[in-house]
Structure 1
Amino acid sequence: MSLRYPATSMLIALSALATSPAVWSSYAFYVGKDFTESGAVMIGGTGEEVSSHWLEIVPAEDHDSDATLSVGVTRDASIPGKLLDIPQESHTYRYLSMSYSDYVGFPAPLTNGGVNEHGVAVRDVWATNRSELIDMTQTPQRGPQYSDLARLVMERARTAREGVELIGELIEHHGYSTYGGNTHLIADDKEGWVVWEFAGSQGLWAAERLGPDEIRVLYPGYIEDFPTDYRDNPDFMGSDNLVSFAEEQGWYDGSSDFNVFEVYGRQDTEARTGGYKYMTQAELEQAVEEMAPVTERDMMARVRDPRIADDEAGYGQVISLFGDTDSDLIRAWVAPTGSVAAPFVPWWLGVQEIPQEYGQHRYLTKGAASHFLNPDFQVQEAADFAGRRFKQVMYLTCEKPDTFLPRITAMLEGFEQQSFEDLAWVETSARTLIEQDQRDAARKLLTHYSQTRAADAMTLGDTLVDWLTASLTLEGGRRAPEGALINDPGGETVNCLADADPDKPKDAQ
């Protein structure tokens, strides 16, 4: 099996990537319920950061009436800012999220999103704005940034629409801090929304509803055609000045349809064909549609695609959103690092404890090289780390992707199939216990199962590392580095896409 793709597409992709201002970004997939086998809304994606990633299930919490939380960015951000304290809600909801430790000037822990106890899921995706907006951003900027908004939606929203309205209210009341523009995909069991927040310190934002008969892939995020009378249209929302500000700046003269990307987006690229790696958003959307009716396994395959999941992918995530689901039974499939070389493990919001192997570790954590370990973390740090283990699998696999990747993929899919075969009895048993007022027992069952599969995944990772290492050693020896720089300042990312190196001939791709 050879993983090769057309030379023209590859060259265009590399050119677009080279000019992109955001090297580490995120993918988001939305699949409306008309396209899924289960009839559920489905989302998936990756987070792309040079950072440590760990799984969290954050409990619901009550807060004092005078409680506040810190939001925003620091003076170290690419557009300097100042942190701001805003009021906390009296009650915040339980949610599941992959957290990460570093984006310059954005205080940790950060999140791209996850899913909360009301079945509201959110994903964060970069979406660069036109340079004039970035240049007019006031410094120090103040207000919540992309991670703050994702977390606040999970903490406070009961529906996707509420999440959109919340973002608008937060920007209106507190401002917005950014590195140059961002989008959020917010979904529940009925619909999805793309929310685009803009740089420029003008309080600009726009939101478009995604219905049951739509598929959307964000990388970068985008919104195109937008009615100028959006306030009277239930499928669109936005700041009051969304159109008027564009007219004031001479970016829109009212003689044509209002296209949000053409007006406020980056001006040297296209909405659905720019800023990508090896597949455009349009190509990915078509690929998902061709899989319909889409299953969770299909979505895992899309998120795992080596044209998406490489060393930049900090994790993989797939979530199906059903109506009338008990909060403890809301489920997310999460791969602990790039899913091209890591298995998806099922986690429910009813899980009471994350194994230490999947918790926070010092690997890729900012400051780890200049500080000794906090004694409070000594036992957790002594545990193996899933992120590190499956990075090993990725690095070894990508040394000979044509040889190793098909085998690794087959084993990961086989592992996941074992979990799929167990879902019916696990969830039926937990649901029966809940109906019998034995919620604690149901949570113990869910916790035991997820922890067991997580432990099994670590065992699989150990086996794969041993097998790959032995294969490389016995089949010509393990390649040693030729240079002295272990940190790559911006060249080729480790990628299991065969011949992804732009310096190699493209004839066979």
Structure 2
Amino acid sequence: MSIGFYVGNQLTKDGSTLLGGFGHEPSSHWIDIVPGQHHPEGATTQVGVTEEANIPGRLIDIPQASYTNKFISSSYSEFEGFPPPLTNGGLNEYGVGGRDIWSNSRPELVEMTLEPQQGPNYSDLARIAMERARTAREAVEIIGGLINTYGYSTYGGNSHLFADKQEGWVVIEYAGGQGLWAAERLGPDEVRVSYPGYIHNFPVDFEGNDNYMGSDNIVSFAREQGWWNPETDHPDYLNLQDVYGEPFEGEGVSMQENHFVSVRVPPEREAEVMGQTPVSLEDMLALVRDPRWSNDRAGYGQVAHIRPSVPDRLQTLWLAVTGAVTTPYVPIPIETDPYAVPPEFVQHRYLTKYADSTYLSADYAPQEATRYAVREFKRLLYFTSEHPVQFLNYITGAMEYFEQGEIAERAELEEKYFWLLQHHQYEEARKLISQNVHQRLLESLRLGMQLTDIVDGETRRLYGIRMPTGTSDPGETTPPWSQEMIEETDDELVTCYDPRLDIYPRSFGVFNHYAGC
């Protein structure tokens, strides 16, 4: 699963477009700044899934673009047989932000998918959109064109959110091997929460409507299958979520029954966000960090801050290298050089599939010797999740205080950047931005390690370290406090969230709402 938040520029405090969220992946994660690249004529790129995927497929080569954009992404190493490295989007050099979010297709479509399937997978679509798109609309056109031409390799249905300075788009890719996809424009006065991704009313005559796009068969196939009938249903539109999707998992589920599932009703989350408008950057950072969904399964945290009045090279992705509930964000402008990412924030063996099957290559020993940021922040998460009442307020306050310093320095930093550009010191301008990112990433890691030491010491003093009970397999243990407090969950997980404890904000809309900073 995953989650995505879009807030149009008429609903934000500074007139920016905000796009935030993260993916759920049980694997290693790292920061990836992919440079713009020119490719020779005839170059190709490989897409698809292997026979090891849940729905087996085959890899194919498709033509590569002559130029691929620079973009910033969170990469990761494993998801259900999909070839790594994988990405869910990010932010590119044209100020186009992208998020990838689950969107389950109806069971009949999943069963209809032929094996072996072929065509780009969800990560391929996200990556290629970042590589080629200059606007959010163009990102949708690129995805639709790829599916129309090469097909689509699915794990059961998926969606994407794209945004630029002017607007957003949500696009749904359906299972079934029929090339079904649909997209809806999100205006500057709209909010969208994808959890999962969805589209409701979709006009039958969408071809003449600039607010919608879709495959040629998106209407006719529904009628052929008997899932929509213009004589008995609404003749002018289809509710795509009802026709091609599955019901929202959290509908009709109370907080008391299952609080992890009950939050998965997008319209309710959208009303929550709309109630907090105008939304600030700080609000969106807090929203993505919200412990209701940011837990051990959150692979990272991202907020694309797409401002209307700055050069595209200064559009910024605020990035937490793993779950933002216990990881500070660091702002990374597109201008940043790849070398600015410290070795602590690139891929390590921890949580990387098959890493235990061979000895470490000597060439990677120096990199592996560094402290892996994901591992360090995971330690902080695990300590905090064991006793969230004692520690979560303090941890969040310390991280938000750190981020306030990063926000406060942006104006002066950008002023220096423009001064250097005006004096034709282009290399120095890029170095200024890159060195700032490098420094702030290392400072965020030091903060995380300091907080971990504090929580470690206090945990030992107050409680001791609880050891696993009832099993010899660490992968199957669940902290007893979560079993006692929560009789039923969608799955066992490590989380700081407990709906019975009054330690969370009533809404996300107050930055630095925790004590302890």
3-state SS in 2 of match to 1:242: coil
Partner of 1:422: 409
Partner of 1:250: 226
1:209 Cα offset (Å): 0.3
1:47 Cα offset (Å): 1.4
Q: Which residue identity lines up with residue 313 of structure 2 in the other structure?
A: D
- Residue 278 to residue 455, structure 1, CA distance change in 2 (3 Å): farther
Give CA-to-partner distance per residue, 1:240-292, whole Å, 9 cap, x none: 11000111111111131411111100158588989963523223212222221
Partner of 1:476: 463
Partner of 2:279: 294
- Residue 264 to residue 424, structure 1, CA distance change in 2 (3 Å): same
3-state SS in 2 of match to 1:55: strand
Partner of 2:169: 193
* 2:150 equivalent to 1:174: yes
Partner of 2:14: 38
1:481 Cα offset (Å): 1.5
State how far apart, in whole Å, the 1-side matches of 2:390 and 2:80 are: 38
- Residue 75 to residue 457, structure 1, CA distance change in 2 (3 Å): same
Give CA-to-partner distance per residue, 1:450-497, whole Å, 9 cap, x none: 111111111111111110111011113121121322113994200001
Give CA-to-partner distance per residue, 1:288-332, whole Å, 9 cap, x none: 222211111101111111101000001101111123532331211
State how far apart, in whole Å, the 2-side matches of 1:409 and 1:290 are: 23
Q: 2:327 aligns with which of 321, 330, 342?
A: 342
Residues 51, 102 of structure 1: 8 Å contact kept: yes
Partner of 2:476: 488
1:34 Cα offset (Å): 1.2
Q: Percent identity?
A: 48
Partner of 1:225: 201
Q: 1:263 aligns with which of 243, 246, 251?
A: 243
* 2:270 equivalent to 1:285: yes
Q: Structure 2: state its 5+ residue gaps.
A: 478-489, 502-517
Residues 342, 412 of structure 1: 8 Å contact kept: yes
Residues 172, 197 of structure 2: 8 Å contact kept: yes
Q: 2:394 aligns with which of 407, 422, 425?
A: 407
Partner of 2:480: none
State how far apart, in whole Å, the 1-side matches of 2:379 and 2:455 are: 9
State how far apart, in whole Å, the 2-side matches of 1:49 and 1:270 are: 21
- Residue 355 to residue 393, structure 1, CA distance change in 2 (3 Å): same
Residues 222, 272 of structure 1: 8 Å contact kept: no
1:90 Cα offset (Å): 0.7
Residues 50, 312 of structure 1: 8 Å contact kept: yes
Partner of 1:351: 336
Q: Which residue identity lines up with residue 484 of structure 1 in the other structure?
A: S
Partner of 2:3: 27
Partner of 1:498: 498
Partner of 1:446: 433
Residues 358, 385 of structure 1: 8 Å contact kept: yes
Normalized against structure 1, the TM-score is what? 0.91
* 2:183 equivalent to 1:203: no
Residues 272, 281 of structure 1: 8 Å contact kept: no
Give CA-to-partner distance per residue, 1:119-140, whole Å, 9 cap, x none: 0111000000001111111110
3-state SS in 1 of match to 2:317: strand
* 2:153 equivalent to 1:140: no
Q: CA RMSD in A?
A: 1.9
3-state SS in 2 of match to 1:369: helix
3-state SS in 1 of match to 2:456: helix
Give CA-to-partner distance per residue, 1:41-82, whole Å, 9 cap, x none: 111001110010100110000101111111000001111000
State how far apart, in whole Å, the 1-side matches of 2:302 and 2:449 are: 22
* 2:316 equivalent to 1:316: no
Residues 273, 282 of structure 1: 8 Å contact kept: no
Give CA-to-partner distance per residue, 1:321-371, whole Å, 9 cap, x none: 123532331211111111111101111111112111111111100111112
State how far apart, in whole Å, the 2-side matches of 1:395 and 1:33 are: 37
Q: 1:95 aligns with which of 41, 62, 71?
A: 71
State how far apart, in whole Å, the 2-side matches of 1:326 and 1:39 are: 15
State how far apart, in whole Å, the 2-side matches of 1:206 and 1:500 are: 40
State how far apart, in whole Å, the 2-side matches of 1:315 and 1:192 are: 22
Residues 402, 498 of structure 1: 8 Å contact kept: no
* 2:111 equivalent to 1:127: no
- Alignment length (residue pairs): 477
* 2:366 equivalent to 1:394: no
Q: Which residue identity lines up with residue 284 of structure 1 in the other structure?
A: R
Normalized against structure 2, the TM-score is what? 0.89
Q: 1:434 aligns with which of 380, 399, 421?
A: 421
Residues 119, 152 of structure 2: 8 Å contact kept: yes
State how far apart, in whole Å, the 1-side matches of 2:383 and 2:500 are: 16
Q: 2:46 aligns with which of 46, 70, 76?
A: 70
Q: Which residue identity lines up with residue 264 of structure 1 in the other structure?
A: Y
State which drifts further: 105-114 or 286-295.
286-295
